[in-house]
Structure formats: structure tokens, C-alpha cells
Amino acid sequence: MRLEEVEREIEARFEQGVESIGFIGGEPTLYPHLARCIGHARQTGFKRISICTNGSRLADQAVLDNLIAAGLSRVAFSIHSHRASLGDAITRRKGSFDEKIQAIGNLVTAMDAGSLADGFSFNSVLHRKILFDLVDFTAFFSDLGVRDIRFNFIRPEHQAEGSRDWVPSFAETTPKIVELLIANESRLGMHLTFADFPLCRLPWEVLSNPQLMQRYVGELRDLVTEVTLYSPQKSGGTKRFNWKDQRTTYLKCMLPVCKSCVLEEHCEGIWKGYLDIYGIEEFTDGPSIAEACSVESLDTA
């Protein structure tokens, strides 16, 4: 995307009343004009300016310093394993895990120095290959100084489409989340959130507690996100959409059983690709679980 187009979009969104801006991708640190875009956003009036990155280039301190000097205030960091061999296998590039570890050190130092006013967090996919190490994953990065992790349940696309090797069932996942929550409440003390779960598959201990809902359910903490997606003209050019609407309209769905669930109006539903793998059987008891939960906890949260 030409720099001039990015700058016009930044200005137009600000004039619409948008208060924060994020650069995602692909990988935004590969875009040659990223620092100039961040600087333009700062000059336009944005205070909260973020990137979502795989982090490899931030292993170079000079790259991070340049982005912070331009006005970067927050980094969401994509990492999906705490083991070097699996990390490199996921990225398909040997040595990428070590780069990420170096980048994490640079980011923790910057955050501790107050250089990232809006923080540094992980944006991690919750997939089968880390599910049974979830507590170890979290503890490993806690020891490196990471304090904020968002776990997004894997969307069954690309490598994960139709794959039980990558996509665990919710029946397997919920007990592991309970283990992590117990570890977090008792000793880790992290800021953790979970997203892209149908609410009836979250632990009932969370659903029934307003404080835990507010602390752990990602969708309750999310900013309203309007997306500008640039594609080459042959692919339709620039598209604009609301990310929540995109998820609930095209990527997720509700089941007939959801109509009798007291949580329906608060829930986004289930990834359609998940149902292609596991079907609907584990949702037949959804309403009976949901009725044991407090709807007031969602309203309060």
C-alpha cells in the first residue's frame, strides 16, 4: 500500500472519531514505511498506537527504538510455543524462536522503562500442541517478564483446517484452562484473557463470577475494532469492516440449541471450521450448563 494512501486512511479514521490505531498484517515490521506511518498517526493526534507482530525484527534494538521514537505505544506479540523446536516448526524458520526471546527481552526492558505507555502483551493461539503445557507456557514467559497473555482459540483455517492435530476439542480444552486459572490465581498473577470460545464452553467457575468474567473473558475487554484491509486492486482494493461483525456474520455461527441458552445474546458462537471437525454433539448440553451460570455476571462485567 502506498504511503500516501496509508496517511489518508489514518487522517480519515481520526476525523471519524477513532481514538486508537493498530498496524497488523501480514507482518507490519516488514513494511518499509512503518515508522513513518506511526509518526504520521502521532502527528495526526492518535495517542494509543500499536502493532501486532511476530517480533523477529524487534530482536534488533535499533528497530524497536526507531518505532518507539516515532510514537509506538503498544506491542501485541504473536508467539505460540515456549519450546524452540516447536516455535521454529510453527514459523517454518530455524532460529526464529531465539529471535523472539531476544525481542521479548527488549520489549520488557522498554515497558519497564515506561517507553510503551499502553503496554506489551502476547497474542497467542491456543492450539493442541501447547494445550497440555498451558501452565508451563505461561510460567515460562512470566519468568521472562511477560505479564499479559491473550489466548485466542485456534481458528481452523490454512494448516489447521480440518485438523484435529492442531484443533483440540472444547471438552479437552476447558479442564486445561481450569488448571491454568488455578495456577494463575494461586501463584502466577498474570493478566490472562481467553477469546473465541463459545461461552458455554468456558469454566462455569468463571461464568458465574462477575469479577472473573471481567478478568478472563477477552471479548468483554476488547475495544471496538474497525478494520481497513488493503488488497491489490485485482482482489477488490481497500475494504473496511467491523471485526466483531466479520467474526459473527461470516466466521462463526450459532446452533439451534443456542436459541434456548440464557447466554445467547452475550455469545459470539462457534468457529464454523470447528464444527466441520467435531460436529455439534458436545453442544447438546450447552443450555443446561449455561442455566447454571449467572447472566447477571455478564451484565455486571
Please say if the pLDDT value at position 259 is more than 70: yes
- When the pLDDT of each residue in the chain is averaged and rounded to a whole number, the result is 92
- Would you give the end-to-end CA distance of the chain in angstroms? 39
pLDDT, residue 264, reads 83
Cβ pair 191, 123 in contact under 8 A: no
Retrieve residue 52's grid coordinates: 501486532
In this prediction, residues 253-279 reach a mean pLDDT of: 91
Whole-number Å distance between alpha carbons of 62 and 80: 25
In this prediction, residues 245-271 reach a mean pLDDT of: 90
pTM recorded for the entire structure: 0.93
Segment 190-211, tens digit of pLDDT:
999 999 999 989 888 888 888 9
CATH 3.90.79.10 fits 3-243, yes or no: no
pLDDT, residue 185, reads 95
pLDDT, residue 294, reads 53
High-pLDDT (> 70) share of the chain, %: 93
Characterize the bridge pairing of strands 20-23 and 48-53. parallel
Q: What are the residues whose beta carbons fall under 8 Å from the beta carbon of 268, sequence distance 6 or more?
A: 196, 198, 219, 244, 247, 248, 252
Residue 226: pLDDT band (50, 70, 90) is very high
Segment 132-167, tens digit of pLDDT:
999 999 999 999 999 999 999 999 999 999 999 999
Cβ pair 247, 273 in contact under 8 A: no
pLDDT, residue 25, reads 85
Say which amino acid occupies 92: R
Where b means 16+ CB within 10 Å and e means fewer, 189-200 reads ebebbbbbbbbb
pLDDT, residue 296, reads 58
Please say if the pLDDT value at position 277 is more than 60: yes
Cβ pair 269, 252 in contact under 8 A: yes
Segment 9-66, tens digit of pLDDT:
999 999 999 999 999 988 999 999 999 999 999 999 999 999 999 999 999 999 999 9
Whole-number Å distance between alpha carbons of 76 and 67: 14
Tell me whether residue 141 is exposed, middle or buried, using C-beta atoms within 10 angstroms of its C-beta: 0 to 12, 13 to 18, 19 or more: buried
Ranges assigned E (strand) in the chain: 20-23, 48-53, 74-77, 120-126, 148-153, 191-195, 226-229, 239-242, 252-253, 270-271
Q: How far is CA 136 from the centre of its chain?
A: 19
pLDDT, residue 11, reads 98
Domain ranges of the chain: 3-243
Please say if the pLDDT value at position 3 is more than 90: yes
pLDDT, residue 146, reads 98
Residue bearing the bigger pLDDT, 258 or 69: 69
pLDDT, residue 225, reads 95
pLDDT, residue 205, reads 84
Retrieve residue 142's grid coordinates: 512470566
pLDDT, residue 288, reads 53
pLDDT, residue 265, reads 83
